[in-house]
Amino acid sequence: MDNIFIKREKNYIFLIVLSLYFLSIFNTSNAESSQDLPPSFVFGDSLVDVGNNNYIFSLSKANFPPNGIDFGMPTGRYTNGRTIPDIIGQELGQKKFSPPYLAPSTKGTAILQGVNYGSGGGGILNATGQIFIGRLNLDAQLDNFANTKEDLITNIGEEAANKLIAKGLYSMVMGSNDFINNYLTPVVSRAEQALVSPQTFVNALISRFRVQLLRLYDMGARKIIVVNVGPIGCIPYQRDLNPSAGDNCVALPNELAQLFNIQLKSLVTELNNELQGSQFVYADVYRAVSDIILNYTSYGFENADSACCRFSGRHGGLVPCNQASKVCSDRSKYVFWDPYHPTDAANVIIAKRLTDGDSSFVSPINIRQLAFPNSTPSFN
């Protein structure tokens, strides 16, 4: 009998040791996976702002309900839930969202996983968004990244900081406001367009954007995602501003976006060829959003032309989402949250297209391949 108990005891010990061994492998694998995650640095406008405008005097803010109704609370995100970079980060395995640069808590170890510099109303040109008074345009956002780089050097040393910066993912979501809140602003658009042709304006945008992307590269960024301008003529704001378009998207804003996007794609190709060690990725949000709007029922949506959070206008596009607005009962059935921005449901589709999509949505590689060069392609 004693021998039987001894054998059982040995078997139990063996199983415990074996379990601990596999647990250690699992934990090591997870740790390695966590260490492989690149930090995410996000630049852009209200499509990606996660709260920076909360900390400046600005007429463009979203830190009040019903914004964030499906996020848990208002944070400064201009949507009911998450932004596209939020979702891409989750798809890649990040446990925390990149924090807003201007938040007092964004310092020390908090910046090691990335920082979000996005600002509602911001643009490529410094004149863009003047209607909002306060906003952080791209030049200011790049200044803030330079400050982050200095903080990293102070915290972890220059060599480690340079490695982390080179490993990071950099998302550039700029250009929409340069049209909506600059060239197409109702109070100045006719005068502006009489003096500056669309082609001349786009040329100026691309020229300035090139300088800004080069500056980011010179500061050590190597993996840069350049997002094009979406079909801005299809947003509820433009539809209500131009009722003569009827049920169609407004032509001129979309033509301007396409004019810009053609040159932007060429710029991405040019920079990839010229800048040693660079990996620029062109994200075709225009195509992704157009596809959703055109085939919205196949994606499970019921409305592709009106704002879920609406105050006035046939499409709810005349007044920004505010506390007096009416909110649709099922946000997942709407493509647009407010006059300008997609819902969380639409952002999920766009984010997955960019993370794991094929070259028709993101090229020359997708974001997962950019983040993890040895990953196996999985096109969706």
Judged against a pLDDT cut of 50, whether residue 13 lies above it is answered with no
Asked whether residue 366 is domain-assigned, the answer is no
Q: How much is the average pLDDT of 264-282? A: 97
pLDDT 10s digits, 73-95 = 999 999 999 999 999 999 999 99
The catalytically annotated residue of 86, 98, 240, 341 is 341
Which pTM does this prediction carry? 0.89
Q: What pLDDT score does 189 carry?
A: 62
Q: Is 46 a catalytic residue?
A: yes
The catalytically annotated residue of 46, 60, 119, 306 is 46
Asked whether residue 69 is domain-assigned, the answer is yes
CB 166 within 8 A of CB 220: yes
Q: What pLDDT score does 374 carry?
A: 78
Q: What pLDDT score does 35 carry?
A: 55
Please tell me the distance from the alpha carbon of residue 224 to that of residue 33, in angstroms, as a whole number.
21
Domain count along the chain: 1
Please tell me the distance from the alpha carbon of residue 380 to that of residue 367, in angstroms, as a whole number.
12
Please tell me the distance from the alpha carbon of residue 226 to that of residue 213, in angstroms, as a whole number.
9
Asked whether residue 45 is domain-assigned, the answer is yes
DSSP strand pairing (279-283 vs 362-363)? antiparallel
Judged against a pLDDT cut of 50, whether residue 185 lies above it is answered with yes
Asked whether residue 342 is domain-assigned, the answer is no
Q: Is 49 a catalytic residue?
A: no
**Which alpha helices (DSSP H) does the chain contain, by range?**
2-36, 84-92, 138-156, 158-167, 176-178, 189-195, 198-218, 236-241, 251-274, 285-294, 344-356, 367-371
pLDDT 10s digits, 157-174 = 999 999 999 999 999 999
pLDDT band with cut points at 50, 70 and 90 for residue 194: confident
- Per the listing, tokens 């009416």 go with 326
On the question of a cis peptide bond just before residue 66, with omega within 30 degrees of 0, the verdict is yes
Judged against a pLDDT cut of 90, whether residue 190 lies above it is answered with no
pLDDT band with cut points at 50, 70 and 90 for residue 376: low
- What is the phi/psi pair of residue 342, to 5°? -70, 160
| Average of per-residue pLDDT values in the chain | 91
pLDDT 10s digits, 321-366 = 999 999 999 999 999 999 999 999 999 999 999 999 999 999 999 9
Which own/partner pairs from 303-306 qualify as long-range (CB within 8 Å, at least 24 positions apart)?
303/328, 303/333, 303/334, 303/335, 303/336, 304/335, 304/336, 305/234, 305/236, 305/239, 305/247, 305/335, 305/336, 306/236, 306/334, 306/336
Asked whether residue 238 is domain-assigned, the answer is yes
CATH number at 270 reads 3.40.50
* Three-class SS state of 116: strand
Domain range enclosing 279: 38-284
Judged against a pLDDT cut of 60, whether residue 6 lies above it is answered with no
pLDDT 10s digits, 31-44 = 335 558 999 999 99
Please tell me the distance from the alpha carbon of residue 113 to that of residue 251, in angstroms, as a whole number.
41
The CA-atom distances, in angstroms, between 115 and each of 106, 148, 263, 296, 336 are: 8, 8, 28, 33, 26
**Radius of gyration of the chain, Cα coordinates, nearest whole angstrom:** 23
pLDDT band with cut points at 50, 70 and 90 for residue 17: very low
Judged against a pLDDT cut of 90, whether residue 187 lies above it is answered with no
H or E element, residue 44: strand 40-44
Q: Is 360 a catalytic residue?
A: no
Query: For 10-19, 96-105, 109-118, 216-225, which range has the lowest pLDDT when averaged over its residues?
Result: 10-19
Q: What pLDDT score does 380 carry?
A: 53
Asked whether residue 333 is domain-assigned, the answer is no
- What is the phi/psi pair of residue 379, to 5°? -80, 135
Asked whether residue 60 is domain-assigned, the answer is yes
Asked whether residue 65 is domain-assigned, the answer is yes
Please tell me the distance from the alpha carbon of residue 357 to that of residue 298, in angstroms, as a whole number.
18
Judged against a pLDDT cut of 90, whether residue 247 lies above it is answered with yes
Q: For a pLDDT cut of 70, what percent of the chain falls above it?
A: 88
Which of 125, 135, 113 has the alpha carbon at shortest distance from 62? Answer: 135
